[in-house]
Copies of this chain bind each other. A is one copy, B any other.
Amino acid sequence: MQTTPPTIGVFDSGFGGLTVLRALMERMPQARYAFLGDTARLPYGSKSRRTIARYAAESAQFLVREQGAEFLVIACNTASALALDAIQDAVPVPVLGVIEPGAEAARAASVTGDVLVIATDATVQSHAYAAACRARGLRAIEKACPLLVPLVEEGWIGHPVTAEVIRIYLGELTAEAAACGLNPDVLVLGCTHYPLLRPLLEAAVPAGVRVIDSAQAAAQAAVQLINGASGSHETGQHSPSAQDQLRCFATDSVDKFERLGSRFLGHPVGKVQLVDLGG
Chain A residues near B (Cβ < 8 Å): 39-43, 46-48, 51, 146-147, 149-151, 153-154, 156, 161, 164-165, 168, 252-253, 256, 279
Tell me whether B253 and A48 are in contact (CB under 8 A): yes
Q: Can you name 7 A-B residue pairings with CB atoms under 8 Å?
A: A39-B47, A41-B279, A42-B46, A46-B253, A147-B154, A161-B165, A164-B164
A164: chain B residues within 8 A (beta carbon): 161, 164
* Tally of this chain's copies: 2
Cα distance A161–B162 in the bound complex, in angstroms = 9
Tell me whether A151 and B161 are in contact (CB under 8 A): no
Q: Would you give the shortest CB distance from A159 to chain B, in whole angstroms?
A: 9
Q: Which residue of B lies closest to A159 (CB)?
A: B168
Q: A146-B154, A147-B156 are in contact. List 4 more A-B contacts (CB 8 A).
A: A40-B47, A41-B279, A46-B253, A48-B253
Q: Which residue of B lies closest to A149 (CB)?
A: B150
Q: Would you give the shortest CB distance from A158 to chain B, in whole angstroms?
A: 14
Tell me whether A51 and B40 are in contact (CB under 8 A): yes
Q: Would you give the shortest CB distance from A112 to chain B, in whole angstroms?
A: 30
Central interface residue in A42, A48, A151, by most chain B CB within 10 Å: A48
Q: Would you give the shortest CB distance from A261 to chain B, in whole angstroms?
A: 14
Q: Would you give the shortest CB distance from A256 to chain B, in whole angstroms?
A: 7
Q: Would you give the shortest CB distance from A246 to chain B, in whole angstroms?
A: 23
Q: Which residue of B lies closest to A144 (CB)?
A: B154
